[in-house]
């Protein structure tokens, strides 16, 4: 037996429970990661990344776009989901099949069978980009989980409880990692620490995060 017999084994998938209803699936999307990156690049060509403005009037640090029937948008009027890209007035690009399949498979693995996302938020982080603690609560009902896929540079994910002031745990999210939170964790506060500079072989100086939701 020589080591090269094992060179082509896929990276192991490991699971870490973050809280009741929340799980980190390390390496879960690794086999599809290259396909997911090219699908995301395609979406970003058709609906370019932009820095949305918060209701308070500040540009968000994370650059965002969407694919699927609905997209999450923020402007002076508030946060909401809508079927068209406010920049172009056109429908958001369709959600690539590889993305839907991965989101459904990850949710199922985490104990949420039958998850069919109708919105995928595509987020781009660069060195220094952070996302402050928040809840994802613009969806119509909270029965469906959130599925979050990390691609490119690693980030530190902040995961807290139901109150902003509670304790927050930190988890390193690498290329191909998936976090699923639902059930008792559906409204957990979460965020991303300032991204460290680096160079990823596929995505260069960027981290791309795909966040899948059932908005309606
Ligand atoms: C992440 N992102 O990037 C987690 N939520 O790993 C989010 O939780 C998120 O990027 C709402 C809007 C944009 C996001
Ligand atoms: Fe979020």
Q: pLDDT 10s per residue in the chain (216 long)?
A: 444 555 555 566 899 999 999 999 999 999 999 999 999 999 999 999 999 999 999 999 999 999 999 999 999 999 999 999 999 999 999 999 999 999 999 999 999 999 999 999 999 999 999 999 999 999 999 999 999 999 999 999 999 999 999 999 999 999 999 999 999 999 999 999 999 999 999 999 999 999 999 999
pTM, full prediction:
0.94
Q: Whose CA is nearest to atom 14 of ligand 1?
A: 123
What's CA 16's distance to the chain center, in Å?
17
* Residue 106, in any domain of the structure: yes
* Residue 75, in any domain of the structure: yes
Which CATH number belongs to the domain containing residue 49 in this structure?
2.60.120.590
Q: 3 phi and psi, to 5 degrees?
A: -60, -30
Distance, in Å, from the CA atom of 216 to the CA atom of 36, rounded to the nearest integer, reads 24
Does residue 209 have its Cβ closer than 6 Å to ligand 1? yes
Domain that holds residue 126: 15-213
Does residue 37 have its Cβ closer than 6 Å to ligand 1? no
Asked whether the beta carbons of 119 and 212 are under 8 A apart, the reply is: yes
Instruction: For residue 132, report the distance from its CA to the centre of ligand 2, in Å.
Output: 9
User: Of the ligands numbered here, which is closest to the C-alpha atom of 192?
Assistant: 1
Residues 6+ apart with CB under 8 A from 98: 32, 35, 36, 39
Distance, in Å, from the CA atom of 137 to the CA atom of 215, rounded to the nearest integer, reads 9
* Residue 9, in any domain of the structure: no
- Tell me how many domains the chain contains: 1
Q: 34 phi and psi, to 5 degrees?
A: -65, -40
* Residue 7, in any domain of the structure: no
* Residue 5, in any domain of the structure: no
Outline where 61-198 has alpha helix (H).
Answer: 97-109
* Residue 88, in any domain of the structure: yes
* Residue 162, in any domain of the structure: yes
Q: Counting every residue, how long is the chain?
A: 216
* Residue 94, in any domain of the structure: yes
Asked whether the beta carbons of 172 and 205 are under 8 A apart, the reply is: no
Instruction: For residue 141, report the distance from its CA to the centre of ligand 2, in Å.
Output: 15
């Amino acid at each position: 037996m020589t080591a090269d017999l094992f060179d082509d084994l896929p990276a192991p998938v490991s699971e870490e429970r973050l809280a009741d209803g929340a799980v980190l699936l390390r390496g879960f999307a690794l086999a599809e990661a290259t396909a997911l990156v090219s699908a995301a690049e395609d979406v970003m060509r058709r609906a370019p990344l932009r820095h949305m403005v918060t209701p308070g009037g500040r540009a968000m640090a994370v650059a965002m776009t969407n694919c699927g029937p609905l997209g999450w948008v923020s402007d002076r009027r508030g946060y909401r989901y809508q079927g068209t890209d406010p920049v172009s007035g056109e429908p958001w690009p369709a959600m690539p099949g590889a993305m839907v399949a991965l989101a459904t498979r990850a949710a199922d693995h985490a104990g949420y069978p039958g998850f069919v996302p109708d919105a995928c938020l595509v987020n781009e982080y660069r060195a220094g980009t952070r996302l402050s603690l928040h809840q994802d609560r613009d969806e119509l009902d909270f029965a469906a989980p959130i599925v979050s896929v990390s691609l490119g540079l690693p980030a530190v994910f902040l995961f807290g409880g139901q109150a902003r002031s509670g304790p927050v745990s930190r988890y390193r999210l690498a290329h191909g990692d998936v976090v699923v939170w639902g059930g008792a964790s559906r409204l957990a506060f979460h965020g991303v620490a300032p991204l460290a500079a680096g160079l990823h072989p596929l995505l260069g100086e960027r981290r791309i995060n795909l966040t899948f939701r059932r908005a309606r």
